[in-house]
Homo-oligomer: A and B are copies of this chain.
Amino acid sequence: MLEKKQIRKTPFRQEVLKLFKASKNAISLKEIERNLTSFDRITLYRTLKLFIEKGLIHEVLHSSGKKYALCKEQCDEHQHQHNHLHFHCSSCKESFCLKTHIQDLNLTGYIIEQTDLSVHGVCKKCNN
């Protein structure tokens, strides 16, 4: 998986990737740090930056901070192509990547490279 994205395989990167694979939802920097046996802050920073650049993970933006999640689509070093939305639950604070289709946006004259749809509310589980 790392090789496929042209990322050199190292023990630390494998551990970080393993963490992402085990995470159902997007995870914050703190959550990542908590779940690593040991880590260097800067190395982790550069690892995440590289993973993003290579199209392995993508950022999930939120007013209170960033989260990160594996890319499910065909993202690469040139572009992130996501057609899913990010749902932020105000109750459990989780951020989900949900499949959806964003309509064609009527933006004549603009070149659209990437769209990100962020939705805030209460998720299925918390709405029971």
Contacts and interface: CB of A to CB of B under 8 A. Distances in A.
A85 interface: yes
A112 B119 CA distance: 7
Given A61-B62, A103-B103, A127 B109 contact: yes
* Number of this chain's copies in the complex: 2
Given A63-B61, A118-B116, A118-B118, A110 B90 contact: no
Contact of A111 (B85, B107, B122): B122
Given A61-B61, A61-B63, A107 B119 contact: yes
A109 B121 contact: no
Interface residues of A, number: 32
A118 B115 contact: yes
A106 interface: yes
Contact of A105 (B62, B63, B100, B114): B100
A122 B100 CA distance: 24
A49 B90 CA distance: 19
Contacts of A106: 100
Interface of A: 59, 61-63, 66, 85, 87, 90, 98, 100, 102-103, 105-107, 109-124, 127
